[in-house]
Amino acid sequence: MTAVKVHDKYFVPFLSEETIQQKISAVAATISLDYQGKKPLFIAILNGSFMFAADLFKHISGDAEICFIKLASYKGTRSTGHVVTAIGLDTDVTGREVVIVEDIIDTGKTLHNFLPQLYNQQPASVKIAVLLHKPEATVYPININYCCFAIPNKFVVGYGLDYDGLGRNLKEIFQLQGEE
C-alpha cells in the first residue's frame, strides 16, 4: 500500500484489508456466540459504518436484523461537537437485544447523545460494536462491548470513513500523514 491523496491531504497506510477483515470475522464470531438463540437487532450508524456493518453482519450466524440511522457530527477532520439526526430510527426497539454498529468512537459525543433516546424506548439490552476507538480522544466515556481496533488520536480515512466526503471507497484504512 502506498500513500493516498484525499482533497488536499496525504494519508499513509495504517490497517490493511486483510487485517481489517480478519478482525471483523473474529468479532462477528464472538457476537454470534453471545447472541446464540436470540434475534439481535443491529443498528448501524450512517454514513461511516456502512462498510463495517455489511462485513460484520454477513459473518453473523443465526437470526439477526439490521436497520440504519444517520447521525453526523464531523466536518473536515474535526468534530463539530454538534450531533444532527439526519435519518431517525424507524424500527421498534422495545424489548429488543440491540447491537449498535459504529465506524469510530472519537470523543464519544455521538453515542452520548443517541443512547438516552434509545434507552427511552426500553430495549431489553444495548451493546456497542465499533471498528475503531480513539481512547485518547474520549470526552464522553462510552462502554464499548466489541472493539476491533484501538487507535491513536489521529485522523483516519478509508473503509467507509471520509475526509469531507471522499476516501470512503478505499479498502484499507489510512492515517493522516505527519499529524501529531
Point out the residues that are catalytic: 106
By CB under 5 A, residue 108 contacts Mg ion: no
Q: What residues numbered 6-25 form the site for ligand XMP, per CB under 6 A?
A: none
Is the Cβ–Cβ distance between 138 and 154 less than 8 Å?
A: no
Is the Cβ–Cβ distance between 44 and 87 less than 8 Å?
A: no
156 touches which of ligand XMP, Mg ion, none (CB within 5 to 8 A by kind)?
ligand XMP
Task: State the residue for C-alpha cell 447521525.
Answer: 71
Rounded Cα gap, residues 143 and 22, in angstroms: 23
Q: Show the site string, 37-66: x = touches Mg ion by CB under 5 A, - = not.
A: -----------x------------------
Q: How far is the CB of 100 from ligand XMP (least distance, A)?
A: 11
DSSP-assigned beta bridge partners for residue 90 = none
Q: Do the bridges between strand 65-75 and strand 78-87 make them parallel or antiparallel, or are there none, so unpaired?
A: antiparallel
By CB under 6 A, residue 41 contacts ligand XMP: no
The site for ligand XMP (CB under 6 A) is made up of 48, 73-74, 79, 102-110, 155-157, 161-162
